[in-house]
C-alpha cells in the first residue's frame, strides 16, 4: 500500500467552509482552525453581550443537503513562486463536485493544501515551515525570488441537472496573500489590500467561519455567567453578613451606662495588679537573659576562633588543590609528550631495523658481487692468457714436431742405410715393406686426418654441451637458495605468528589498562563530585536535627513519630514551614494565631496524632488537615487588586513545599498589611471591608474590632527563611548517608591506589610492548624480504628453467654432432684398423728383415715407430690447443660483459650502502636523542608522581581536618541557636494605653513580691470582671449603627435582585444549549451509524455521552465495532479502521450541517481496495451538494472522480495539468473504436 511521504494518514483531511467551523480531520478527531490563526473578530448583528461576555448569533445556512440553492466552490488556485511552484502556476480548474489530485511522491501535491492554508491565515509552522519566508520558491533555476503570492478563486453556483451548473452573477471572489523575504505578508480581497479580519468576515458570510464553532452556545459564555452568579452570591453574602453585624452591634449598645463605669473601675484595678506580675516576670527574665548572654558571648568567641581556623584550613586546602590541578595539567602535558617521544623513538627503531636489514642485504650482495667479480676477473685473465699460452705451446709443439720429424728422418735414413746393406738379402722383403710403408704412410695420413676430425668434432660436441651443463649448475644453485630461504621462512614464520598473536593481546591489555585508568580517574572525579555534596547534605541534616532539638515537647514528640514512620503525614509547625521578610515579622506574628498549629496531610493523620498525644500524655496541639483545604487553592490563586496597592500578607510568605500554601491561606485569609494604623483603618473601613494589620501589629478585623498596641509586641513566630523542611532528614537516612559516604570515601582511596598500581604496571607493559613491537618489526622485515625473495627465486628458477630449456641442446643437432663424432671415430678406427693391418704386415716384414739383418734394424725400426707416435701425439696436442684458443676468445668476451654488468651492480649497491649507512647513523642519533628525552621525561614524571602523592596525602589530611572543624563549628552553632536571646513574649499586655502611667517598682521591691499571691488576686479580679464589654457612648453609637443598618439593607436588596436576574439568564442559556446539542447529537449519532454500516457493509459505530446530565464536562466517547469484531474505542483501532470511522463521522456531520468545501490528503492510504471503492463511490454519488478536492494515489479513488488534476515536477519546479475523466473516457473509447475499424 503506497503512503504519502509528507503527511501521515492520521493527519490527512481538511474541511473548509462548514458554517460551524473550518476543521482538520485526522481520522478520529477535529482540531479548531481558529486556535492557529491570528484573527480579529468584532461583535455581529444578533449577538448578545453581557458585560465582558459575548454570545455570537447562530450561523446562517449557506447550503443545503439536497443540492438546492447556491453554494460556494473553489474554481482554481493561482500560485506564484509558492514552495515548489516556480513562476505562475494555475491549479485547476476544480470540478464542482469531485476533483482528484494525483502525482508522484515529492511532486508537490500536498502544497495544494498548503497554499489554501496560507491564504486562510495559517502560521508558517502549520504549513510545514519554520517561517513565512521559507514558503518562497527556491531552486537552482530560481534561487533569489523575493516574494510569493497565492490567490484562491471562489464563486457561488446553482446546481443543475447532471454536470450542469449556473454561476451566480457577480459572485466571483478572489482572496490572495503575498509574503516577502522578511516574513511580512498582506492580504487582498478582489484586488484590494485589506486586513485579515475583512477576509475572515467575507468568508464567514459565505459559510467559511475561521473563528467560532457557531452551531451551539459556547461553553465559555455559560461558564462566565456561572461565575457572575457566584460572584453576585458571594457579594450578597458579604452584604448580608455586614447587615447582620451592624444589627448585632446595634443591639449590643443597649447596655446601661453604669455597668460600663463599674466595669472600667474593676478593669483598672486588674490592670494595676497585672502590671506588678508582668514587672516581676520581666525582672526574672532579665536575670536569666544575663546568664545566657554570658554563655552566648563565650559561644560566639569560640565560634569566631573556629571560623578563623576553618578559614585558614580552607585557604590552605584551596592553595593545595590549585597546586594539584596545575601539577595534574603539567603531568598530562609530560605524559602526552612522553607518548609522542616514545612513538618517535619506536618509529626510529622500526626504521633502524628496516635500514639494518636493507644494509645487511646490500653488504651481502656487495660481498657476493666482489667475490664473483674477482672470480670472473681471474677467469678472464686465465681466458686471455690461454691464446698466448696455447700459441707458445703450439710453437713448442711445432719445434718438437720439427725435431721429431728430423729425428725420424735420421732414423729412417739410418734404417734405410741398414736396410740397404741388407737389401740384397731382403730385397724382396724390402720392396714389399716399401710398398707397405708407402701404403702405411697414406693410411697414417688418413688416421691423422680422421683423428683431427674426431678431436674437432668431439671438442665441438663438448663446447655445445657445456652451456647446458653450466645452466643446470646455476639452476641447482638457485634451487638450493630457494630451499634455504623457504627453510628460514618456515622457521621465522611461527615466531612472527606468535608475536603477532601476543602483541595485539598485549596492546589490547595496554589499551584496556589505559581505558581502565581513564575510567578510574573519571570514577575518582565522580566520587569527589558526589562526596562533597553528600558530606554537605549530611552536615545540613545534622544541623537540622540539632536545630529541631530546641522545639517544644509536643512538636518534638510528633516529629519523632514522623521520623519513625508511624506518623508520616506530619509536615510540621505552620510557622516553621514558611518564611517572611523580617519587616513583616511583627505583623504576621500578631495577626496569625495559627502559626503554632501543626500541619498534616489528612484528617486521619490528625486524628492519629491526637490519639498519640492523649495516649502518651504529651500535651495538646491544634492541627490543620491539608485535604480539607484543597478548595482554597482556587480562592487564593485568583489575583485581585487591593486598595492603595497594599500587599496581601499571604502573598509575602515564602515556602519550599507548595503543598502547605492552603494551610497558610487558611490561617491568614485575605489579610492585608498596611504601613501604619492610619492606612490600615482607611482600607479596613473602605467600600469593601478587609481584615488589615499594620507593621506594628495593629489588627482590624472584618467585624470592625481593633486589637494591638501597647509597649510589648509579638514577634518571632515566623523566621525570614523556612525553618522546617518537609523533607526533613530521618536519622536512619542520615546514618545511611554516612555509611554511603564512608563507602564512597573508602572506594575513593581504593580507586586512587588502583590507579597508582595500574600506572606502574602500565609502564612495564609499555616497555614489553615496545620490545616486542621492535622484534616483530624486524621479523616482519626479514619475513617480508624472504617472502619477496622466495617468489623472486621461484621466478628466477622458472626463468632459468626456461633458460635451461632454451640452452638445452637440440636433439637433432646433438645427434648430428654425436653422429659426426661417431662417424669420425668410426673413420678413425677404420683408418687405425687399416693402418694397423698394414703396420702389422710391415712389422712382420721388419721382423723378417730383422731376422735377416739382425737386431740393428729392429732397434732403428722401433726408434722410427716411437718418433712416429710422438709426432702423432704432437699433432693431436696442436689441434687441441688451436680449438682451445677459439673457445677461450668466445668465453673471454662473455666474461668481460658479465664483469661490466656486475661492476655496475656493485657501484649501485655501494651507493645504496652509503645512503643506508647515513640513514642508520641519523636514526641512531635520533634514537639517542629521543631516549635521552624519555629519560628526562621519566625523571620529571616520577618527581611529579611523588609530589602528587604527597600533595594528595596533604589534601586528604586537610579535608579530614576541615570536616572535623566543620563538625565543631556545627556544634557551636547549635549551642548558639539554643542560647539565642528572644524578646520576652508576655501574654495579656493591655490592648490600650492607660490614661494614668502605671507604677514602676524597683528591683528590691520586685524581689520581695510573692507571685503566687498576685496570680490568685488577678484570678479573682478577672472572675469579677467576667465577659462584660461596656460602651460609654452607647446612645450616640446606637443611632449611628441604625443609619448604617438601613443603608446596608438597601445595598443587600439591590445585589439580590441582580443575582436573581443573572441566575435566570444563566439557566435559560444552559437549557437552550442542552436542547440544541442533544438534537444535533442524536441526528449525528443516527447518521454516523448509518454511514459506518454503509461504508463497512456490516460494522457499527455510535457516539455516547459520558455523562448525559452534563455532557459538556465529561465529553463524548466514539465507539466502533468493525465487521466481525467487538466494540472498541476509536483510539484502539487500526489505521484503516480509524480512517473509515473518521470518514463516517465527517459524512454524518456533513449531513447535519452541510459544508460547501472539503479538501482531503490521502485519506485512502490506509484502506484496502474494497473500502477505497466504497468511499470513492459514496463521495461521488451521495455528496453532490459539496465540492470535494482529494489528494490520492489509489486508482480506485481518482478513477471515480469527475476531474483529475495532475501534479508533476521538472527541474525542481512543480507544474499542473487537468483533464475530465468522462471526456477522457469518451476520447479513449473513440480511439479504441477507430482502431477496431482500421483493423
pLDDT digits (tens, 9 = 90+) for 535-550: 766 765 665 554 444 4
Residues 506-530, mean pLDDT to the nearest whole number: 82
The band of 261, judged by pLDDT with boundaries at 50, 70 and 90, is: low
Q: What span, in angstroms and rounded, lies between the C-alpha atoms of 81 and 147?
A: 7
Q: What is the pLDDT of residue 42?
A: 52
Mean pLDDT of 203-212: 70
- Bigger pLDDT: 275 or 1121? 1121
Which of 52-61, 150-159, 575-584, 929-938 is the least confident region?
52-61
Report angle CA 9, 13, 15 to the nearest 5 degrees.
Answer: 170
Over 60: is that where the pLDDT of 20 sits?
Answer: no
C-alpha 1065: how far from chain center: 59
The answer to whether the Cα torsion of 728, 729, 731, 732 is positive or negative is: positive
Q: Give exposure, 21-46, as e/b (b: 16+ Cβ within 10 Å).
A: bbbbbbbbebeebbebbeeeeeeeee
Residues 807 and 801: their CA atoms lie apart, in Å, by: 9
Q: How far apart are CA 1077 and CA 1067, in angstroms?
A: 15
User: What's the CA angle centered on 1075, arms 1069 and 1076, to 5 degrees?
Assistant: 90
Angstrom distance (rounded) from CA 1022 to CA 277: 14
Q: How confident is the model over 189-217, as a mean pLDDT?
A: 75
9-215+1160-1238: CATH number: 3.40.50.300
User: Which comes out higher in pLDDT, residue 186 or 434?
Assistant: 186
What average pLDDT score do residues 1185-1208 get? 90
Q: Using 50, 70 and 90 to split pLDDT, how confident is the model at 17?
A: very low
Using one digit for the tens of pLDDT, what is the confidence trace for 667-676? 888 899 998 8
Is the pLDDT at 100 greater than 90, yes or no?
yes
Q: Is the pLDDT of residue 221 over 80?
A: no
Residue 497 · residue 774 · CB < 8 Å: no
Highest mean pLDDT among 225-239, 741-755, 938-952, 1138-1152: 1138-1152
Q: Tell me which of 238-252, 337-351, 961-975, 1161-1175 is least confident.
A: 961-975
Torsion from C-alpha of 722, 726, 730, 736, nearest 10 degrees: -90
Long-range contacts of 1005-1010 (CB under 8 A, 24+ apart): 1006/279, 1006/280, 1006/283, 1007/283, 1009/276, 1009/280
Asked which of 46-50, 1020-1024, 1166-1170 is least confident by mean pLDDT, the reply is 46-50
Q: What is the pLDDT of residue 1031?
A: 52
Residue 282: all three cell numbers together: 520581666
Percent share of the chain, pLDDT over 90? 9
Burial call 746-768: b when 16+ CB within 10 Å, e when fewer: eebeebbebbeebeeebeebbee
CB-CB neighbours of 57 under 10 Å: 12
**76 φ, ψ to 5°?**
-165, 170
The Cα–Cα gap between 762 and 624 comes to: 66
pLDDT digits (tens, 9 = 90+) for 802-816: 777 766 667 777 777
Mean of pLDDT values over 677-682: 86
Query: Grid coordinates standing for 724?
Result: 522546617
Res. 943: pLDDT tops 90: no
Q: Which of 342-346, 426-430, 687-691, 1120-1124 has the highest mean pLDDT?
A: 1120-1124
Instruction: Say what the pLDDT of residue 186 is.
Output: 95
- Alpha helices by DSSP H, listed for 80-190, are 111-119
Q: Write out pLDDT tens, residues 700-713.
A: 887 667 776 665 67
Q: Is residue 1169 very low, low, confident or very high in pLDDT (cuts 50, 70, 90)? A: confident
Q: Lowest-confidence range among 175-179, 424-428, 622-626, 829-833? A: 424-428
In the predicted structure, residue 1035 carries a pLDDT above the cut 50: no
* For residues 1076-1080, average pLDDT: 85
SS3 1103: strand
Mean pLDDT (whole number) for 184-212: 84
Please tell me which residue, 1208 or 716, carries the higher pLDDT value.
Answer: 1208
What pLDDT is attached to residue 201?
Answer: 83
Does residue 486 contact residue 787 with C-beta atoms inside 8 Å?
no
Sorted by sequence, the CB contacts under 8 Å of residue 768 that are 6+ apart come out as 506
**Please, what is the angle between helix 423-548 and helix 811-853, to 10°?**
150
Average pLDDT, the chain: 77
Position 37 scores a pLDDT of 36
Query: Is the pLDDT score of 454 beyond 90?
Result: no
Q: Classify strands 192-194 and 185-189 as parallel, antiparallel or unpaired.
A: antiparallel
What does the DSSP assignment read for 583-629? Answer: GGHHHHHHH-GGGGSEEESSHHHHHHHHHHHHHHT-----EEEGGGS
Cα separation, 1190 vs 1145, whole angstroms: 17
In angstroms, the CA 609 to CA 557 distance is 10
At 1121-1149, the pLDDT tens digits run: 999 889 999 888 888 888 888 888 888 88
- The arithmetic mean of pLDDT across residues 1167-1193, rounded, is 85
CB of 576 closer than 8 Å to CB of 724: yes
Q: Which helix (H) or strand (E) holds 55?
A: strand 53-55
Judge whether 1080 and 18 are in contact, CB under 8 Å.
no
* pLDDT tops 80 at residue 218: no
Share of the chain above pLDDT 70, in %: 78
The residues, ordered by sequence, that sit 6+ positions from 1172 with a Cβ below 8 Å of its Cβ are: 1164, 1194, 1196, 1197
CB 3 within 8 A of CB 1140: no
Residue 749 near residue 949 (C-beta atoms within 8 A): no
Mean pLDDT is lowest, of 56-60, 98-102, 321-325, 365-369, for 56-60
In the block, cell 690461454 appears at 386
How far, CA to CA in Å, does 637 sit from each of 281, 465, 630, 661? 45, 122, 12, 10
* 591-619 average pLDDT score: 87
CATH number given to 581-719: 3.30.70.1620
Q: For residue 554, which phi and psi values (nearest 5 degrees)? A: -65, -50
Q: What is the pLDDT of residue 554?
A: 82
Residue 418 and residue 413: Cα distance in Å, rounded?
8
Q: What does the DSSP assignment read for 125-191?
A: GGGT-SSGGGGB---SSS----EEEEEEEEEEEEE-STT-EEEPTT--EEEEEEEETTS-EEEEETT
How distant is the alpha carbon of residue 230 from its chain centre?
A: 53
Highest mean pLDDT among 133-142, 377-386, 732-741, 1014-1023 belongs to: 133-142
CB 1099 within 8 A of CB 1120: yes
Higher local confidence (pLDDT), 179 or 338: 179
Q: Which band of pLDDT confidence, cut at 50, 70 and 90, is reported for residue 1100?
A: very high
Least confident of 661-665, 1003-1007, 1227-1231: 1003-1007
d(CA 1144, CA 214): 22
Contact of 591 with 575, CB cutoff 8 Å: no
Domain limits, the chain: 9-215+1160-1238, 581-719
Dist CA 773 CA 309 (whole Å): 57
Q: Compute the average pLDDT of residues 949-970.
A: 69
What is the separation, in whole angstroms, between the first and last Cα of the chain? 39
Cell numbers given for 5: 511521504
pLDDT at residue 835, rounded to an integer: 78
Q: What's the CA gap between 401 and 878, in Å, rounded?
A: 10
pLDDT of residue 457: 77
Residue 5 is predicted with a pLDDT of: 33
State the number of CA atoms in the 13 A half-sphere of 555 facing the CB: 18
- CA distances to 541, 587, 602, 662, 691 from 592, rounded to whole Å, are 29, 8, 22, 14, 12
Q: Which three cell numbers stand for residue 452?
A: 683431427
C-alpha cell at 116: 489554501
Amino acid at each position: 500500500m503506497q503512503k504519502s511521504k509528507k503527511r501521515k494518514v492520521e493527519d490527512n483531511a481538511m474541511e473548509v467552509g462548514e458554517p460551524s467551523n473550518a476543521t482538520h480531520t485526522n481520522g478520529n478527531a477535529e482540531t479548531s482552525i481558529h486556535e492557529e490563526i491570528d484573527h480579529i473578530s468584532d461583535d455581529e448583528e444578533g449577538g448578545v453581550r453581557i458585560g465582558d461576555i459575548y454570545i455570537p448569533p447562530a450561523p446562517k445556512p449557506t447550503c443545503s443537503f439536497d443540492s438546492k440553492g447556491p453554494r460556494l466552490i473553489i474554481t482554481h488556485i493561482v500560485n506564484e513562486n509558492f514552495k515548489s511552484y516556480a513562476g505562475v502556476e494555475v491549479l485547476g480548474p476544480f470540478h464542482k463536485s469531485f476533483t482528484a489530485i494525483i502525482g508522484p511522491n515529492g511532486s508537490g501535491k500536498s502544497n495544494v493544501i498548503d497554499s489554501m492554508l496560507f491564504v486562510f491565515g495559517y502560521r508558517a509552522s502549520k504549513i510545514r515551515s519554520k517561517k513565512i519566508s521559507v514558503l518562497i520558491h527556491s531552486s537552482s533555476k530560481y534561487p533569489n525570488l523575493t516574494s510569493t503570492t497565492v490567490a484562491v478563486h471562489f464563486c457561488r453556483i446553482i446546481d443543475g441537472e447532471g454536470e450542469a451548473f449556473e454561476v451566480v452573477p457577480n459572485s466571483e471572489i478572489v482572496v490572495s496573500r503575498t509574503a516577502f523575504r522578511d516574513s511580512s505578508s498582506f492580504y487582498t480581497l478582489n484586488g484590494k489590500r485589506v486586513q485579515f479580519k475583512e477576509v475572515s468576515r467575507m468568508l464567514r458570510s459565505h459559510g467559511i467561519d475561521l473563528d467560532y464553532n457557531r452551531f451551539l452556545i459556547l461553553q465559555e459564555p455559560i461558564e462566565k455567567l456561572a461565575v457572575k452568579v457566584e460572584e453576585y452570591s458571594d457579594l450578597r453574602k458579604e452584604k448580608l453578613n455586614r447587615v447582620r453585624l451592624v444589627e448585632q452591634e446595634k443591639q449590643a449598645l443597649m447596655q446601661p451606662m453604669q455597668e460600663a463605669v463599674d466595669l472600667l473601675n474593676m478593669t483598672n484595678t486588674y490592670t494595676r495588679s497585672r502590671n506588678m506580675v508582668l514587672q516581676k516576670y520581666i525582672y526574672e527574665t532579665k536575670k536569666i537573659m544575663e546568664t545566657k548572654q554570658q554563655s552566648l558571648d563565650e559561644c560566639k568567641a569560640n565560634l569566631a576562633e573556629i571560623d578563623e581556623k576553618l578559614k585558614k584550613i580552607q585557604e590552605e586546602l584551596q592553595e593545595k588543590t590549585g597546586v594539584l590541578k596545575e601539577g595534574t595539567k603539567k603531568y598530562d602535558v609530560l605524559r602526552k609528550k612522553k607518548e609522542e617521544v616514545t612513538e618517535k623513538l619506536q618509529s626510529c627503531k622500526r626504521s633502524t631495523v628496516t635500514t639494518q636489514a636493507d644494509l645487511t642485504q646490500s653488504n651481502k650482495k656487495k660481498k657476493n658481487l666482489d667475490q664473483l667479480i674477482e672470480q670472473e676477473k681471474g677467469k678472464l685473465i686465465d681466458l686471455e692468457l690461454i691464446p698466448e699460452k696455447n700459441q707458445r705451446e703450439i710453437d713448442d709443439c711445432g719445434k718438437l714436431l720439427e725435431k721429431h720429424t728430423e729425428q725420424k728422418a735420421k732414423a729412417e735414413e739410418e734404417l734405410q742405410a741398414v736396410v740397404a746393406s741388407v737389401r740384397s738379402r731382403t730385397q724382396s722383403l724390402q720392396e714389399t715393406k716399401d710398398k707397405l710403408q708407402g701404403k702405411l704412410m697414406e693410411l697414417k695420413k688418413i688416421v691423422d686426418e680422421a683423428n683431427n676430425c674426431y678431436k674437432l668434432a668431439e671438442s665441438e660436441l663438448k663446447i655445445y654441451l657445456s652451456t647446458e651443463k653450466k645452466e643446470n649448475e646455476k639452476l641447482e644453485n638457485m634451487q638450493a637458495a630457494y630451499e634455504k630461504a623457504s627453510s628460514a621462512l618456515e622457521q621465522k614464520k611461527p615466531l612472527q605468528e606468535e608475536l603477532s598473536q601476543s602483541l595485539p593481546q598485549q596492546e589490547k591489555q595496554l589499551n584496556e589498562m589505559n581505558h581502565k585508568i581513564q575510567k578510574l580517574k573519571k570514577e575518582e572525579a565522580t566520587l569527589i563530585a558526589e562526596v562533597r555534596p553528600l558530606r554537605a547534605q549530611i552536615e545540613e541534616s545534622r544541623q537540622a536535627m540539632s536545630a529541631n532539638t530546641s522545639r517544644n515537647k509536643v512538636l518534638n514528640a510528633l516529629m519523632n513519630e514522623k521520623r519513625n514512620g508511624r506518623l508520616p503525614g506530619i509536615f510540621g509547625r505552620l510557622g516553621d514551614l514558611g518564611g517572611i521578610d523580617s519587616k513583616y515579622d511583627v505583623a504576621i506574628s500578631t495577626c496569625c494565631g495559627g502559626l503554632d498549629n501543626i500541619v498534616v496531610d489528612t484528617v486521619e493523620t490528625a486524628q492519629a496524632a491526637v490519639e498519640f498525644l492523649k495516649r502518651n500524655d504529651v500535651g495538646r496541639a491544634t492541627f490543620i488537615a491539608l485535604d480539607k483545604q484543597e478548595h482554597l487553592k482556587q480562592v487564593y490563586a485568583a489575583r485581585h487588586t487591593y486598595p492603595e496597592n497594599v500587599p496581601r500578607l499571604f502573598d509575602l510568605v515564602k515556602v519550599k513545599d507548595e503543598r502547605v500554601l492552603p494551610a497558610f491561606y487558611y490561617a491568614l485569609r485575605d489579610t492585608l498589611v498596611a504601613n501604619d494604623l492610619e492606612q490600615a483603618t482607611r482600607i479596613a473601613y473602605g467600600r469593601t471591608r478587609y481584615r488589615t494589620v499594620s507593621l506594628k501589629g495593629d489588627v482590624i478585623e472584618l467585624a470592625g474590632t481593633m486589637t494591638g498596641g501597647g509597649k510589648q509586641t509579638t514577634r518571632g513566630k515566623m523566621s525570614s527563611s523556612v525553618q522546617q523542611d518537609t523533607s526533613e532528614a530521618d536519622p536512619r537516612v542520615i546514618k545511611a548517608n554516612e555509611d554511603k559516604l564512608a563507602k564512597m570515601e573508602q572506594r575513593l582511596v581504593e580507586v586512587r591506589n588502583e590507579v597508582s598500581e595500574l600506572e606502574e604496571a602500565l609502564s612495564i607493559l609499555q616497555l614489553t610492548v615496545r620490545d616486542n613491537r621492535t622484534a616483530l618489526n624486524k621479523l616482519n622485515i626479514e619475513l617480508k624480504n624472504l617472502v619477496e625473495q622466495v617468489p623472486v627465486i621461484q621466478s628466477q628458477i622458472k626463468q632459468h628453467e626456461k633458460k635451461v630449456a632454451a640452452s638445452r641442446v637440440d636433439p637433432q643437432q646433438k645427434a648430428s654432432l654425436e653422429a659426426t663424432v661417431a662417424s669420425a671415430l668410426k673413420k678413425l678406427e677404420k683408418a687405425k684398423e687399416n693402418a694397423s693391418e698394414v703396420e702389422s704386415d710391415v712389422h712382420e716384414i721388419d721382423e723378417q728383415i730383422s731376422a735377416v739383418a739382425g737386431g740393428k734394424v729392429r732397434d732403428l725400426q722401433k726408434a722410427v715407430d716411437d718418433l712416429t707416435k710422438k709426432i702423432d701425439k704432437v699433432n693431436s696436442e696442436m689441434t687441441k690447443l688451436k680449438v682451445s684458443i677459439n673457445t677461450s676468445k668466445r668465453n673471454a668476451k662473455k666474461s668481460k660483459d658479465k664483469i661490466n654488468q656486475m661492476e655496475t651492480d656493485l657501484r649501485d649497491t655501494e651507493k645504496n650502502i652509503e645512503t643506508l649507512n647515513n640513514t642508520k647513523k641519523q636514526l641512531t642519533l635520533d634514537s639517542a636523542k629521543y631516549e635521552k628525552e624519555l629519560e628526562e621525561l621519566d625523571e620529571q614524571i616520577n618527581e611529579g608522581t611523588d609530589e602528587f602523592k604527597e600533595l594528595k596525602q596533604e589534601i586528604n589530611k586537610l579535608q579530614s581536618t576541615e570536616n572535623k572543624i566543620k563538625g565543631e563549628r556545627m556544634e557551636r552553632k547549635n549551642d548558639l541557636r539554643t542560647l539565642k536571646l528572644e524578646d520576652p513574649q508576655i501574654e495579656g499586655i493591655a490592648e490600650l494605653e492607660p490614661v494614668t502611667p502605671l507604677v514602676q517598682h524597683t528591683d528590691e521591691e520586685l524581689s520581695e513580691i510573692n507571685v503566687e499571691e498576685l496570680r490568685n488576686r488577678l484570678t479573682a479580679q478577672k472572675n469579677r470582671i467576667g465577659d462584660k464589654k461596656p460602651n460609654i457612648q452607647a446612645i450616640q453609637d446606637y443611632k449611628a449603627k441604625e443609619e448604617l443598618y438601613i443603608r446596608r439593607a438597601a445595598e443587600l436588596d439591590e445585589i439580590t435582585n441582580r443575582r436573581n436576574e443573572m441566575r435566570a439568564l444563566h439557566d435559560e442559556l444552559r437549557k437552550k444549549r442542552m436542547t440544541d446539542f442533544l438534537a444535533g447529537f442524536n441526528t449525528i449519532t443516527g447518521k454516523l451509524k448509518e454511514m459506518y454500516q454503509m461504508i463497512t457493509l456490516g460494522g457499527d459505530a455510535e457516539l455516547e455521552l459520558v455523562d448525559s446530565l452534563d455532557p459538556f464536562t465529561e465529553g463524548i466517547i466514539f465507539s466502533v465495532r468493525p465487521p466481525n469484531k467487538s466494540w472498541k474505542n476509536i483510539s484502539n483501532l487500526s489505521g484503516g479502521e480509524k480512517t473509515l470511522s473518521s470518514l463516517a463521522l465527517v459524512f454524518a456531520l456533513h449531513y447535519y450541517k452541510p459544508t460547501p468545501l472539503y479538501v482531503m490528503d490521502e485519506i485512502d492510504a490506509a484502506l484496502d481496495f474494497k473500502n477505497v471503492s466504497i468511499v470513492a463511490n459514496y463521495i461521488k454519488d451521495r455528496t453532490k451538494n459539496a465540492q470535494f478536492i482529494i489528494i490520492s494515489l489509489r486508482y480506485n479513488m481518482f478513477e471515480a472522480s469527475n476531474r483529475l488534476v495532475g501534479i508533476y515536477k521538472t527541474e525542481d519546479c512543480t507544474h499542473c495539468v487537468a483533464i475530465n475523466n468522462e471526456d477522457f473516457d469518451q476520447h479513449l473509447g473513440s480511439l479504441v473504436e477507430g482502431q477496431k475499424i482500421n483493423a
